[in-house]
Amino acid sequence: MRITIRQEEERDYRRSEEIIREAFSYPGRIERGGIGCPYEHWMVHELRKRDGAGISLVAEADGVPAGYVICSRAQILVGDMDALSVTDIGPIGVLPVYQRKGIGKALFHAVLQRAAEAGYGAVMFFGRPEYCPRLGFVQAAGYGVSDRFGEISPAFLCKELKEGYLSAARGGRFFDSDIYDEKKHRDEVLEFDRQFGK
Ligand SMILES: CC(C)(COP(=O)(O)OP(=O)(O)OC[C@H]1O[C@@H](n2cnc3c(N)ncnc32)[C@H](O)[C@@H]1OP(=O)(O)O)[C@@H](O)C(=O)NCCC(=O)NCCS
């Protein structure tokens, strides 16, 4: 199987959302947060309109779109210092039938390369702790960064793209796009999901 990664184009929008919706439709996901799988593809849709970082990639397996990732702009606020800019990865997903074939890994590597080319000093995001550390991501807590509520968790991950970039982040809080606030957008999300099939 040949994996290729390319920048998303407008003609991909609907398919990318379907890929993310399907990738996140695994057992347990629907219950989590009360919204579950419909939520992630709504985020993709919204990030194109606001807070996007200009990085959205389609992974093709032998020419067939099979995986997708989008990044957004985020900041770390430390005391009264200037905000430290980072990019946030996600949603990222691979169609279930294409999982465990190296597509997720290829997408993460491509994101890191694009983010570095765009000048970002680090990526920071909430990801799967059982999977992402295999790709070189480490816990944000190791750099002394917490989420916006001051919480830390094994799912809160990061990677420096410029050596030492996160040393200025110690004691800081991470502020990601408002679209990640699941509860805030519940009605909008459910309305959006009605456009998609079962
Ligand atoms: C997570 C996800 C993107 C991984 O994509 P993928 O194409 O299946 O992953 P890859 O085949 O590139 O796997 C890369 C490595 O992670 C491992 N891996 C993949 N999925 C894993 C899982 N769920 N648990 C533990 N390890 C996993 C692979 O074995 C591989 O390890 P190796 O390099 O040591 O052999 C995909 O499973 C998915 O879409 N999941 C549902 C959506 C989701 O949870 N997204 C958030 C991801 S942070």
Q: What's the CATH number for 3-193? A: 3.40.630.30
pLDDT at residue 34 tops 60: no
Domain ranges across the chain: 3-193
Nearest-atom number in ligand 1 for the CA of 29 is 44
Please choose from 3, 5, 29, 128 the residue to mutate so as to test ligand 1's pocket, defined by most ligand atoms within 8 A of CB: 128
Q: pTM of the full predicted structure?
A: 0.93
How many Å apart are CA 163 and CA 19, to the nearest integer?
Answer: 34
Is the pLDDT assigned to residue 35 strictly greater than 60?
no
- The pLDDT tens digits for 45-98 are 999 998 888 999 999 999 999 999 999 999 999 988 889 999 999 999 999 999
Non-local (6+) Cβ contacts of 176 within 8 A are 72, 74, 88, 125, 148
